[in-house]
A and B are shown apart, each in its own frame.
Chain A
């Protein structure tokens, strides 16, 4: 909302009880970017619910709006973007209506922390590792020089960096990619945030390091009671990390549910397509399934279901009317006309059914 919101007095309700276990509830978020006069609608009414202590992963093809949605949660949309509709409730405050930087400073990094994709570039190359952690602690926890140094050393230890005293004095170029991501994580959680947003934190790392970082995030989540919003386009990572999954397509969440619900009982054809394209779980001898066609241009107003042109199960109605979110269970919802009472009965493709069995065997979930 760009309208007269400058005078909103921000009052963060920090008492634990009032909001049940729902930490963040984003509804109908619409984000428009202005690109040299052209408008690009990156989010078209996206929503999500993040519950205390759980990991919600957002999956979807690149360009589906995962990063944009997560950036709205810490007020870090690029300058040319605005939230034009919707709300993001967090402890009694609508984050979508915060406009003053000062207000964000009490949330960003302190209560909601975020790490990004590339650890190689996320740290200041000319500043000692330790100092980069310490500056957050000084800023948000108000510790003095000595105490903040000790706290920074503790954080280094906590993320599995050996010999923290020596490492504290080193510069980023003396660290490997995996080690840098550990430092980035240490920085992010230095002030005990309650929410950690990870935007593809392992995409730039090689597979073994990736597994270590995922383990670390899981461990920290347990130890510190973090709620994690984990963005990835890798369903294999999802299977490892998620409690809940939100599937995004063209600026909307098209299906959301628990891991079990998405992997074993998904309803949206786009989710099926994603599952079928999962390389790690690919069925031997069968060609990897790729989703045909390209996502729609977000510069134009989309009519009907955005996935319809690529959807082999598309109904006539999909091309004219946007489907609502149908509720399948209290935690499971999907945005497809296939769930309408009048829709014909369809089964997910064979490959997805097979994958489910395969998944059961390999991950044990």
Chain B
């Protein structure tokens, strides 16, 4: 087990380094004009511009820049935003924005897991009956209808119905409810449909037939064999999903005016804010890879077969 964790750890580190390197080098190909705000660029002389770039370090050998970037990253210095929040240190931007996305995200993961699991269990237990069909309808609806449509409807109608605020106010807890729920709708559907599927898969396996022949009651079999085993392929995704809540949700944060991380990367790319882009990609890829790493360890804990065999884990679910 220890060996397995160690090997997966080094693999993760190498993966992150490769991702960062490629991303960093690609960004070096961007035009140098991107390092200026528009006003600065217009107001500076050619010499000023060169001096500014030299000062930023972007004229150095890219490899040197990469090492400097990594060193800065480790010490918490992410550079300054250029165009999105001109001249503001990125670490400050993150410090301000992450908590919103993180809290909403964590609450939504919690809601999704609890409600999604309950729904999935209910659907598997009533396979092909009304409950299952209603559940499937919900899942299909959430998946098929563009989220903007139902999220907008929720915002319009539910706020009206229960007299809730239309947008997010930090000091008004009632305004937190709808964003949290909206954020969970697709997560609930995801957990429900996969848990149902894995439970149905397990139920059809031979060992369940033998468990029935042993004279164990159905409830016991569903709980101790079917559910227990069906959870295994799902726990793997939990760490990634928790960690990546940091990235926030573009749609929900914008319709409820939550000043979180949602969409920050998109704006940064659109406004060609190189330093912000590289900081965000760096953070997200570390969290992503680290989430998969934690998932694999969790998986090895709940599935005894993995300890002995190689690190090959079937990735059946695609998030």
- Contacts from A to B (Cβ < 8 Å): 74, 76, 101, 104-110, 113-116, 118, 121-127, 135-136, 139-140, 171, 173-174, 184, 187-188
Q: How many Å lie between the Cα of A332 and that of B225 in the bound state?
A: 45
Q: How many Å lie between the Cα of A106 and that of B215 in the bound state?
A: 7
Given that A116-B213, A136-B215 are contacting pairs, would A126 and B206 also be in contact in the complex, using a CB cutoff of 8 Å?
Answer: no
Given contacts A116-B206, A136-B214, 5 further A-B pairs with CB under 8 A are: A104-B215, A125-B229, A126-B304, A135-B216, A136-B216
CB atoms of B206 and A124 under 8 A apart: no
> How many Å from the CB of B15 to the closest CB on chain A?
28
Interface string of B189-208 (1 = CB under 8 A from A): 00000000000000001110
Interface string of B205-223 (1 = CB under 8 A from A): 1110111111111101000
CB atoms of B214 and A126 under 8 A apart: no
CB atoms of A121 and B302 under 8 A apart: no
Does B224 sit at the interface, judged by CB under 8 A? yes
Partner of B228, one of A126, A136, A184: A126
Does B315 sit at the interface, judged by CB under 8 A? no
How many residues of chain B are within 8 Å of chain A by beta carbon? 24
> How many Å from the CB of A71 to the closest CB on chain B?
9
What residues of B have a CB within 8 angstroms of the CB of A124 in the complex? 207, 211, 225, 229
What residues of B have a CB within 8 angstroms of the CB of A104 in the complex? 215
> How many Å from the CB of A41 to the closest CB on chain B?
23
CB atoms of B304 and A76 under 8 A apart: no
What residues of A have a CB within 8 angstroms of the CB of B303 in the complex? 126
CB atoms of A139 and B207 under 8 A apart: no
**CB nearest to A105 among chain B residues:** B215
What residues of A have a CB within 8 angstroms of the CB of B305 in the complex? 125-126, 171, 173
> How many Å from the CB of A6 to the closest CB on chain B?
17
What residues of B have a CB within 8 angstroms of the CB of A107 in the complex? 215
Q: How many Å lie between the Cα of A192 and that of B254 in the bound state?
A: 66
Partner of B212, one of A108, A123, A125, A140: A108
What residues of A have a CB within 8 angstroms of the CB of B154 in the complex? none
CB atoms of A76 and B229 under 8 A apart: no
Given that A121-B206, A173-B304, A173-B305 are contacting pairs, would A126 and B229 also be in contact in the complex, using a CB cutoff of 8 Å?
Answer: yes
Partner of A188, one of B205, B207, B214, B225: B214
Q: How many Å lie between the Cα of A122 and that of B207 in the bound state?
A: 4
18 residue pairs A–B, Cβ–Cβ below 8 Å:
A74-B213, A104-B215, A105-B215, A105-B217, A109-B213, A109-B216, A113-B213, A116-B206, A116-B209, A116-B210, A116-B213, A124-B207, A127-B224, A127-B225, A173-B304, A173-B308, A174-B308, A187-B210
Most buried by A among B210, B217, B232, B304: B210
What residues of B have a CB within 8 angstroms of the CB of A127 in the complex? 224-225, 228
**CB nearest to B224 among chain A residues:** A135
What residues of A have a CB within 8 angstroms of the CB of B217 in the complex? 101, 105, 139
Most buried by A among B209, B215, B228: B215
Partner of B213, one of A76, A126, A140: A76
What residues of A have a CB within 8 angstroms of the CB of B220 in the complex? 135, 139
What residues of B have a CB within 8 angstroms of the CB of A135 in the complex? 214, 216, 220, 224
What residues of A have a CB within 8 angstroms of the CB of B232 in the complex? 126
B residues 61-80 near A (Cβ < 8 Å) are none
**CB nearest to B226 among chain A residues:** A124
> How many Å from the CB of A21 to the closest CB on chain B?
25
Given that A116-B206, A116-B209, A123-B210 are contacting pairs, would A110 and B302 also be in contact in the complex, using a CB cutoff of 8 Å?
Answer: no
Q: How many Å lie between the Cα of A128 and that of B241 in the bound state?
A: 30
What residues of A have a CB within 8 angstroms of the CB of B215 in the complex? 104-110, 136, 139-140
